[in-house]
Amino acid sequence: MEKISFVIPCYNSEHTVADVIGRVITTVQNHGGYDYEVVCVNDYSKDGTIDVLRKLAKENKKIKVLSFSRNFGQHSALMAGFNYVTGDIVMCLDDDGQNPPEEMFRLIDKLKEGYDLVSAKYSKKKHSLFRNFGSKVSSLMSDFLVGKPKDIDLNSFYVFRRFVLDEVIKYKNAYPFVHGLILRVTRNMANVEIDHQERAEGRSGYNFKKLFGLWMNGFTAFSEKPLRMSTFAGMICAMIGFIFGIYVIIRKILHPEVLAGYSSNMAVLLLIGGLMMFFLGLIGEYIGRIYICINNAPQFALKDMINIDEDEEKKNNK
């Protein structure tokens, strides 16, 4: 019997996570064709999420709990969960109830058609306007920088095969970007249309700072295209400056009475100076992240583990 491993990052979801886990287990048991495990990763929640998870894990040994020593973010939580799953198929979903667990076998059935990954696709996301904007930017970034197929949506509700996970967890550096890691392994993907549900309670844990950090992970860890863009922009600016210089010389020869333009000079200086500072900052981001990775900064740090077998722990401590 095949085994499904569910990975659920949890943050401030004490009132929703138990319902999500219950619906996951009920759906699998009603289907009857699969064994299961649920790996919940508590990303240093500030409410009683960890107490709820401990209670659920005590009642059901198939619920495993990993707890961080500080907040590392959703993608680090996913990577932590990936390192402790034992199933043949891995499914990721959120802890807020917006990904309907009852639809999971529509994704799995599509996976069985020969795909390596199947993600939910929402005709209308029931996120806030800011979160929808962030998701759109992330999608465009994945299209351009990481090579995501343009006809595929990658969301937080998806299922993939074990061999994909085995490749993804080879990445041990800081700043993980899970979609980028998956796209390094395969582009054999498909979507299934699923209704996005209203958030049961609270609001998204993503603010501008966290979204910006996620975008920078995608920019600096998985593509050299931004550096190529800076080279291209520098060439364009140099060419424009050269042409403008020739124009100024010719104009001065033909019309000696024309005075040099202070405003135009300032505009050009500000434009070029701004571009230089922007791309120097981008290069600095690359260098800073390289430095942090060289110093072996962790993806995550575990404070507590519940229902994790000794063999699994030894395997991940090698």
Q: Which of 49-58, 127-136, 207-216, 221-230 has the highest mean pLDDT?
A: 49-58
What's the DSSP call for residue 224? Answer: S
Lowest-pLDDT choice from 16-25, 68-77, 235-244: 235-244
Confidence (pLDDT) at 59: 96
What's the DSSP call for residue 38? Answer: E
- Residues 175, 221 contacting (CB under 8 angstroms): yes
- For residue 139, pLDDT over 70 is answered with no
Residue/partner pairs of 227-233 with CB below 8 Å, 24 or more apart: 227/282, 227/283, 227/286, 230/279, 230/282, 230/283, 233/275, 233/279
Distance CA 6, CA 38 (A): 5
Residues 6+ positions from 90 with CB-CB distance below 8 Å: 4, 5, 7, 82, 159, 160, 161, 162, 164, 165
Concatenating the DSSP letter of every residue in 103-144 gives: GHHHHHHHHTTT-SEEEEE-SS--S-HHHHHHHHHHHHHIII
DSSP E strand stretches across the chain = 3-10, 35-42, 63-68, 89-92, 117-121, 158-161, 189-193, 302-306
- Residues 77, 102 contacting (CB under 8 angstroms): no
Handedness of CA 58, 59, 65, 67 (dihedral sign): negative
CATH number for region 3-222+299-316: 3.90.550.10
3-state secondary structure of 279: helix
Residues 6+ positions from 92 with CB-CB distance below 8 Å: 6, 7, 8, 78, 156, 157, 158, 159
Per residue in 292-312, pLDDT (tens digit) is: 677 778 889 999 999 997 556
Residues 6+ positions from 71 with CB-CB distance below 8 Å: 11, 43, 44
What's the DSSP call for residue 256? Answer: T
Q: Mean pLDDT, to the nearest integer, of 215-235?
A: 66
Confidence (pLDDT) at 262: 57
Who has greater pLDDT, 183 or 257? 183
Distance CA 62, CA 39 (A): 8
Per residue in 40-49, pLDDT (tens digit) is: 999 999 999 9
- Residues 49, 19 contacting (CB under 8 angstroms): no
How is the chain split among helix, strand and coil, in percent rounded to 5?
A: 50, 15, 35
- For residue 130, pLDDT over 60 is answered with no
